[in-house]
Amino acid sequence: MLVLTRRKNQSIVIGDSITITVLEVKGDNIRLGITAPRDVQVFREELLTALSEANASAVLSTDTAPAPTITVSLDASGPAASSPLRLGARRGRVA
C-alpha cells in the first residue's frame, strides 16, 4: 500500500485519467473529489462489501420466491390506444 500525505486542494493522479483531490479536512473526516472517466466505477468500500454479501446470500438462499412476472396488455381499444407504449428512462425518471 502506498501512503501519501496531502493537504486541502492537493491531488493524487492515478494513471492517465483519474485524479483524487482533497476538498476539505474537518477533524477525522476528509472530503475527497474524484475525477474519472464514466466507464470507471467508483464505490465506497463498505457499500461494495455489503452488495457482494447480499448477492452471495441471495445465491445461497434456498427459500427465495421466484421473480414476479409482469404482463403488459397491448389491447388496441380504450383511450390509451392512440398513445404509444413508453418504456425507458428520461432524465432519471421512468416514463
List pLDDT tens digits, range 30-82: 999 999 999 999 989 999 898 888 888 877 765 556 666 666 655 555 444 44
Give which of 13, 34, 33 is closest to 23, Cα–Cα. 33
pLDDT of residue 57: 82
Dist CA 86 CA 37 (whole Å): 30
Query: What φ, ψ does residue 60 adopt, rounded to 5°?
Result: -80, -15
Q: Is 27:33 a contact under the CB 8 Å cutoff?
A: no
Rounded to two decimals, what is the model's pTM? 0.55
pLDDT of residue 84: 44
pLDDT of residue 79: 46
